Structure 1
């Protein structure tokens, strides 16, 4: 049973109609090519992708755990399987996963940063993961997706009062597809914080479903989509405030060039009785070429009367006056564009709490900008 099934559904459109709307900017047909493709098995240099932090390290290649490349420590590697989410891609990951991980942190426990590298060398690979945090426990996870195949991941987070989970995920692929679904039910005084960087994928979709179920729950979801060529990158995020005094922040940035498409949909639901909710959405898109497309869709569904909720969505091009100013100070046009674009993306990536992780993500974005501009 999914977290959403544990609470009475908020008023709104019928579920099947809403589901179609949520998927309007995702082309599932692009995934079909990976169903019959054979993996090559060629691995990148993994040392280039570890961040210099202590803690467990796991490597999965084409749907299989590679023990000889890993140091799992206290993390338990599983053969997949977790709760169904009511999401077609996530449910398929649960049914077909041959590998995954389970993290259980006891009361007031802290686990070192867990780093997971997923490598897809072709075809499709499915993973199902579960994280359980007891009261006042803390965990930090960094996930990296590499390669040219399709990686499909389902994540379920279960937390108790005061628990804190920090997640950072980057898809820096050389083509291929990436789909990721994360579901959580955030209890009293607990927090779920997730930041993503997506680039290099032919197609990608990140989806989060968070229920802020008790007073004082905090949810923060955001990141950056960097699209070029004819790539289609997208994300859909739901924060469902079901308890009083909940807080949520959704901060997303999208950059698109050539004929690429980047899409961001973010929804906040405030149920009856969820008074004193504080919800904020900031969705911004930057077009590097007028042939590119950016879709932004913020949504607020509010059924309580004592709340503070706001949203903003803007799409535009680089400020010509700012470009002129930087060029008048001696910067070449390409360098000036890169500087402004870097500042635009940093709004989202700077929210990563761990400095080494933040710097690694910024370096990946910097490399992409150097190639795109």
Structure 2
């Protein structure tokens, strides 16, 4: 891959991204070394391990299939590299819940690309947790289609020590269906998160967002669009960004309401916390509304830790480092607490706490 094939920062959608490391990662050779201990959650359900984009282990694979998928994003510079090979989860109306589907993506120093397809028929339900570890460039594309009344919880933990993670989501949410997409970036890798979620059916619901934690010279970049295309659809976007040292977190979130999408309800909440004056937080909320009977709102704030709160905690005998960690944990809590399953929520909370302890 050459730099000429990558988007330029002159393009509005890519102006906060730094892709300069990708050409070297694309030419690197993987080591194949995988940690002995993997970050599985103690939950029943299918477990799949992908190493450098190839299936290495499957335990209780259940309804998950490996092979060709329909996912494609020819209009996206990184997602189109994912190809048509990957994993797919298809559940019909009569399928019993598969338990918690856990997928660990381990990269070992090079570039790997993989696509995914999730298709839930009417009233089907699924919960998926993806965990990304290792080094190198991990590039993913996910195509999701939810039938009438279907429910999907898709949570992602972006860990690992160095490298780059890029994920693009394309979702179609049907009538009365529900999609919850929560991401936590708490490792040492740079990230680029893209999403286009279409609320295609009446009374559809989508919630997307997460927590971006960056230090050193890390860059996290999230770009999400939710389109209301039917009557009575509801969307929520909640993002919490924390940047330390010379790191940068950027979130561009947009809600689009079509002319016929009356009674739409959309909210955005983008908040950033600077742990150092040398860090950067970018927040860009947008509303594009063509209907006239809607309830839409957005808000964006960037600030520092409350000095009065720090003083109060210090006066109670709490060391400054612990006081900072406690207040930062409270800042990101409302994004993590939106995860519906307790064990998954606890794992995300521990990941975030581990990052915060590392800043102490």
User: Taking structure 2 as the reference length, what is the TM-score of the superposition?
Assistant: 0.94
Q: How many residues align?
A: 352
Residues in 2 aligned to 1:148 and 1:364: alpha-carbon distance in whole angstroms:
18
Query: How big is the shift at 1:46?
Result: 3.5
1:241 to 219, 228, 234: 228
2:93 to 77, 97, 107: 107
Q: Secondary structure at the match of 2:78?
A: helix
Partner in structure 2 of residue 93 of structure 1: 82
Query: How big is the shift at 1:179?
Result: 0.4
RMSD over aligned Cα, in angstroms?
Answer: 1.6
Residues in 2 aligned to 1:112 and 1:58: alpha-carbon distance in whole angstroms:
13
Partner in structure 2 of residue 287 of structure 1: 274
Residues in 2 aligned to 1:299 and 1:335: alpha-carbon distance in whole angstroms:
36
**1:33 pairs with 2:33:** no
1:126 to 86, 104, 113: 113
Residues in 1 aligned to 2:178 and 2:120: alpha-carbon distance in whole angstroms:
11
Within-5 A mapping of 1:136-155: 136-155=123-142
Instruction: Verify the 8 A CA contact 1:108 1:134 in the aligned structure 2.
Output: no
Query: How big is the shift at 1:165?
Result: 0.6
Residue deviations 1:96-143 (CA, integer Å, cap 9, x gap) = x5xx21111111532211000000011100010101100000010000
Instruction: Verify the 8 A CA contact 2:62 2:98 in the aligned structure 1.
Output: no
Partner in structure 2 of residue 336 of structure 1: 323
Query: How big is the shift at 1:86?
Result: 2.2
**1:258 pairs with 2:208:** no
Residues in 1 aligned to 2:68 and 2:106: alpha-carbon distance in whole angstroms:
17
Worse-matched range after superposition: 235-244 or 23-32: 23-32
Q: Secondary structure at the match of 1:82?
A: coil
Residues in 2 aligned to 1:150 and 1:78: alpha-carbon distance in whole angstroms:
21
Query: How big is the shift at 1:281?
Result: 0.2
Query: How big is the shift at 1:256?
Result: 0.4
Residue deviations 1:162-184 (CA, integer Å, cap 9, x gap) = 01110000111101110001111
**1:52 pairs with 2:39:** no
Unpaired runs of 5+ residues, structure 1, are 1-15
Residue deviations 1:306-325 (CA, integer Å, cap 9, x gap) = 11000000000000001111
Residues in 1 aligned to 2:103 and 2:306: alpha-carbon distance in whole angstroms:
38
Unpaired runs of 5+ residues, structure 2, are 1-6
Q: Secondary structure at the match of 1:123?
A: strand
Q: Secondary structure at the match of 2:261?
A: coil
Partner in structure 2 of residue 271 of structure 1: 258
**Structure with a larger share of its residues in helix:** 1
Query: How big is the shift at 1:73?
Result: 2.3
Query: How big is the shift at 1:79?
Result: 4.8
Residues in 1 aligned to 2:164 and 2:332: alpha-carbon distance in whole angstroms:
22
Instruction: Verify the 8 A CA contact 1:105 1:137 in the aligned structure 2.
Output: yes
**Structure with a larger share of its residues in strand:** 2
